[in-house]
């Protein structure tokens, strides 16, 4: 499975003549043409169907990956879709030593008519450029970003699951990432960089589906500090969260919540998701964006969908004391986590070394309602009045 095709010399040549879509060997998108190297051994349909029936999260991968190379001399070039498989990296590649890496998470959804769509990919493209600037990596154009998703999906559309019903949130999770591949141990931005997109069929991120999750409040680990990389989607932020995540698991929790580094008081985000607080008077509060918080695409969409549903969205600082007191007084009725992978997942309790904030067991109706609205949009069951969907196939 996933044999690596031989890479002809011509692929090193960035100058390609644009050809029409689906010519067989090329896939043209605005400003670029992806050369197609089909896998010699694609996964058999029955094996793929077994995977799609129960994909879990991040365990299985489609037959191809998109790739674009960057060098300081030639810029972005060598657009291709090639068989999924191990990368050849020099042991001195900068990413292995200094972590010069960024990534994105975005999903492809199959609609009832068989077409495949992504949700606000231009937001991910924009964030990817922002992350690149912070990590001193080259910026990839929005056309190349969205084009790479389309080029990969043109090959691997069979890997997009068909949802069985409205509660089924299966999709093809796309993971664009960029690494510093230059062989050089000096500490400076790399002169050679590779961008890839891999695709993984995905069901619910949490094992319990939308059952409320328990969160561990990290008391001494911090995820991000002012001036650091917290707002960027880089591997280092996630690596920095893992010791706290281990601590969370030791306490029976599936995620970890971080407070700010300066005052140890303000709620920032979970290891890989943003947080929302539902107030009984209709306010929908989420920590305002700072350079220590990742600007989630789902977060931004929930603010808009919340307003559409008659809630009053508020982006502001919210302290751990406000969470504790708000639940005790009944002001805060629900808390939920959101992200591309997690969609919208209710929080059942926040456990810390000092105490536990137990959320009311009242059904998490608002989280479920917003989640339903979001999924209906993503799967084409509701009118896309904000123009958030982009067709991939």
Q: Which residues bind ligand COI (CB under 6 A)?
A: 105, 272, 339-341
> CB 208 → ligand COI: shortest distance, Å?
16
Which CB atom, from 80 or from 169, has the smaller least distance to ligand COI?
A: 169
> CB 132 → ligand COI: shortest distance, Å?
16
Which CB atom, from 157 or from 255, has the smaller least distance to ligand COI?
A: 255
For tokens 């960057």, what's the residue? 70
For the chain, how long is the longest CA-to-CA vector? 68
Strands (E), the chain: 26-29, 32-36, 64-71, 75-83, 101-103, 106-110, 116-119, 171-180, 192-202, 213-217, 255-259, 267-270, 274-279, 283-286, 312-315, 332-339, 343-351, 356-358, 389-391
Break the chain down into helix, strand, coil percent, rounded to 5.
25, 30, 45
Q: Using an 8 Å Cβ cutoff, are 284 and 311 in contact?
A: yes
**Cα dihedral across residues 89, 234, 61, 149: positive or negative:** negative
Which CB atom, from 256 or from 357, has the smaller least distance to ligand COI?
A: 256
> CB 214 → ligand COI: shortest distance, Å?
17
For residues 108 and 116, give the distance between their C-alpha atoms in angstroms, rounded to a whole number: 6
Which CB atom, from 83 or from 339, has the smaller least distance to ligand COI?
A: 339
Token representation of residue 154:
């043109």
Residue 371's contacts (CB-CB under 8 Å, 6 or more residues apart) are 210, 343, 344
Which CB atom, from 30 or from 209, has the smaller least distance to ligand COI?
A: 209
> How many other C-beta atoms are found inside a 10 Å radius of the C-beta of residue 325?
13
> CB 203 → ligand COI: shortest distance, Å?
13
For residues 292 and 365, give the distance between their C-alpha atoms in angstroms, rounded to a whole number: 30
Judged by DSSP in three states, 135 sits in coil
For residues 173 and 43, give the distance between their C-alpha atoms in angstroms, rounded to a whole number: 18
Which CB atom, from 43 or from 255, has the smaller least distance to ligand COI?
A: 255
> CB 246 → ligand COI: shortest distance, Å?
15
Which CB atom, from 105 or from 230, has the smaller least distance to ligand COI?
A: 105
In this chain, which residue has its C-beta nearest to ligand COI? Answer: 105
Token representation of residue 204:
């619910």
> How many other C-beta atoms are found inside a 10 Å radius of the C-beta of residue 236?
17
> CB 137 → ligand COI: shortest distance, Å?
17
Which CB atom, from 83 or from 105, has the smaller least distance to ligand COI?
A: 105
> CB 308 → ligand COI: shortest distance, Å?
22
> CB 298 → ligand COI: shortest distance, Å?
7
């Amino acid at each position: 499975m996933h044999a690596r095709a031989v890479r002809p010399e011509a692929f090193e040549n960035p100058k390609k003549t644009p050809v029409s879509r689906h010519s067989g060997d090329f896939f043209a998108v605005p400003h670029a043409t992806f050369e197609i190297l089909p896998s010699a051994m694609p996964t058999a349909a029955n094996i793929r169907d077994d995977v799609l029936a129960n994909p879990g999260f991040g365990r299985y991968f489609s037959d191809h990956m998109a790739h674009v190379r960057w060098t300081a001399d030639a810029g972005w070039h060598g657009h291709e879709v090639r068989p999924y498989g191990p990368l050849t990296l020099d042991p001195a590649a900068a990413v292995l030593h200094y972590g010069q890496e960024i990534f994105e998470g975005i999903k492809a959804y199959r609609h009832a008519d068989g077409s495949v769509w992504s949700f606000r990919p231009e937001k991910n493209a924009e964030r990817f450029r922002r992350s690149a600037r912070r990590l001193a990596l080259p910026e990839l154009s929005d056309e190349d970003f969205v084009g790479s998703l389309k080029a990969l999906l043109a090959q691997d559309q069979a890997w997009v699951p068909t949802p069985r019903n409205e509660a089924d949130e299966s999709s093809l999770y796309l993971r664009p990432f960029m690494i510093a591949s230059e062989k050089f141990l000096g500490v400076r931005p790399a002169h050679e960089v590779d961008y890839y997109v891999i695709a993984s069929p995905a069901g619910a991120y949490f094992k319990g589906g939308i059952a409320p999750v328990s969160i561990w409040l990290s008391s001494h680990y911090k995820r991000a500090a002012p001036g650091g990389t917290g707002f960027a989607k880089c591997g280092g932020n996630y690596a920095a969260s893992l010791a706290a995540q281990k601590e969370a698991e030791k306490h029976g929790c599936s995620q970890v919540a971080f407070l700010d580094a300066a005052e140890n008081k303000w709620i920032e985000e979970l290891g890989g998701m943003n947080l929302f607080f539902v107030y009984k008077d209709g306010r929908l509060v989420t920590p305002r964006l700072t350079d220590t918080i990742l600007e989630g695409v789902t977060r931004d969409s929930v603010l808009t969908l919340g307003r559409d549903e008659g809630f009053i969205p508020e982006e502001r600082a919210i302290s751990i004391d406000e969470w504790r007191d708000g639940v005790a007084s009944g002001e805060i009725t629900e808390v939920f986590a959101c992200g591309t992978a997690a969609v919208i997942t209710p929080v059942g309790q926040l456990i810390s070394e000092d105490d536990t904030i137990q959320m009311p067991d009242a059904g998490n109706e608002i989280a479920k309602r917003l989640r339903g609205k979001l999924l209906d949009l993503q799967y084409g069951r509701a009118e896309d009045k904000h123009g958030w969907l982009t067709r991939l196939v």
